[in-house]
Amino acid sequence: MPRTSSRKKKPKQQTLRPNHKLPPELITEIFEYLWGGIIDEQVYESEIPNAIDNHFSQEQSDLFRVSRVCSVWRQIAVPRIWQKVLFQLDAERDWEKLFQWIIQEGYVRFNSVTTDHISEDLPPVMNTFFSDISESCRSVRRVKIHTSALRGPNKDDTLNLPSVSNIISMVTGTVREVDLMMHVANQETIGALRDCKKIDRALVHCCDWKETPEDFYTLLTSWKNIKNLQIEPPHITDYNWEEIYTKSLQYLADNCGEQLEELWMPLREEDQKLFCNLVENTPNLKVLALEGRDFENDGHFLDVVARTTPHLNYIHLSYFPSVTGDNIQDIKWHQLMDVNIMGCEKLVKKRFFDSVKKDHCSKLNIHIYDLEGNITEER
């Protein structure tokens, strides 16, 4: 008499599904490619898909589709779906319906947040949504707080939500990168960002100081680990800007020189001495971008940069019409790869960087732009 097996047969549907056989480590690696990058890698923000426009769109991304397969796959996919979230509230979309669906389906955990408040008419469900996600986002790495590019730099055009600072306050230990328009941030947001002690990359747009010019300096002195700093100056500079900027240069030279690797900033002729002091204390500088402000003379800053930044591999100079590069003898550049020049007529005419390429950096690429930002010549 044949023996009967007591083991139950697996349902045919389960047997055919491969998702029960793949180890989580392999699934994770596959999903990294589906969203376009690895969460722990430093990538340009523009390369990261936006959850609202890419994953939750009508077309639906591949990453979103696989998150619907089973609970295990969803658990792996959700942090990658929320790698970036950009809310543009003036877009034609049923926000209330979308937020309710996201909350209901469990898509409220994410790894990084970008916020863009550009509407004066806020759906009531928005506060609920921010409250819910603030309970579950525990590893935010990037924070971006902007007004819309469609509107002017007017604080009245921007809706500030206390819940944004609430979210930041819950992840102060993980935020590493901030992109901030100063005129958008209220005091609660400034306070929350001040507590983000691990920030090492910061892009700060000082479009309009309003009544709180000290806020920028407060944030700068709170970020002790800063390595990459980009400063966009106000549209109209005043005494407050000059005073704060001078203090900032001195602070950076005294406290952050050894760790700074990238600097993007304006340079006034009267700030040359402070700037040169800063550069002399940044031996590991790799990227330098300078925008001239009221710079009428040749100056000596380029001489200092040439002899004190041996690891520099990229330099951008704009609006230095009288800078020539003459009499610069001590050049320590041996790793310089790219030079962008705009609005520097004499520097181009004197062909200073051509001689640098000939004598020091044979692989140097020289890009010359017109005032409209178009490349006119490559050497």
Residue 349 has pLDDT above 80, yes or no: yes
Instruction: Identify each DSSP E strand in 182-282 by its residue range.
Output: 201-205, 228-232, 262-268
Residue 84 has pLDDT above 90, yes or no: no
Confidence (pLDDT) at 135: 54
Confidence of residue 365 (pLDDT cuts 50, 70, 90): very high
**Cβ atoms of 249 and 278 closer than 8 Å:** yes
What is the mean pLDDT of the segment spanning 334-354?
A: 93
**Please, what are the domains in the chain?**
25-81 (no CATH), 85-256 (3.80.10), 283-379 (no CATH)
Residue 8 has pLDDT above 60, yes or no: no
Confidence (pLDDT) at 319: 93
What is the dihedral angle through the alpha carbons of 25, 27, 28, 33, rounded to the nearest 10 degrees?
130
Confidence (pLDDT) at 154: 39
Question: Distance between CA atoms of 301 and 249, rounded to whole angstroms?
Answer: 14
Residue 52 has pLDDT above 70, yes or no: no
Question: Distance between CA atoms of 134 and 26, rounded to whole angstroms?
Answer: 29
The answer, as to whether pTM is greater than 0.85, is: no
In 3D, which of 333, 305, 330, 329 has the Cα closest to residue 317? 305
Confidence of residue 160 (pLDDT cuts 50, 70, 90): very low
**Cβ atoms of 316 and 292 closer than 8 Å:** no
Confidence (pLDDT) at 162: 42
Confidence (pLDDT) at 164: 60
Confidence (pLDDT) at 62: 81
Over the stretch 15-30, which tens digit does the pLDDT of each residue have?
455 556 678 778 877 8
Q: Which comes out higher in pLDDT, residue 319 or 91?
A: 319
Question: Distance between CA atoms of 368 and 276, rounded to whole angstroms?
Answer: 25
Confidence (pLDDT) at 318: 94
Return the DSSP state at 270.
G
Confidence (pLDDT) at 358: 92
- Cα 18 to chain center, whole Å? 38
* Residue 18, phi then psi, degrees to nearest 5: -80, -15
Collapsed DSSP state (helix, strand, coil) of residue 47: helix
Q: Which residues of 47-84 are buried (b: 16+ CB within 10 A; e: fewer)?
A: ebbbbbebbbeeeebebbebbeeeeebbebbbbbbbbb
Share of the chain above pLDDT 90, in %: 32
Selection from 135-139, 152-156, 183-187 with the highest mean pLDDT: 183-187
When the pLDDT of each residue in the chain is averaged and rounded to a whole number, the result is: 76
Confidence (pLDDT) at 181: 81
Over the stretch 233-276, which tens digit does the pLDDT of each residue have?
877 777 778 888 899 999 999 999 899 999 999 998 889 999 99
Q: Which comes out higher in pLDDT, residue 318 or 126?
A: 318
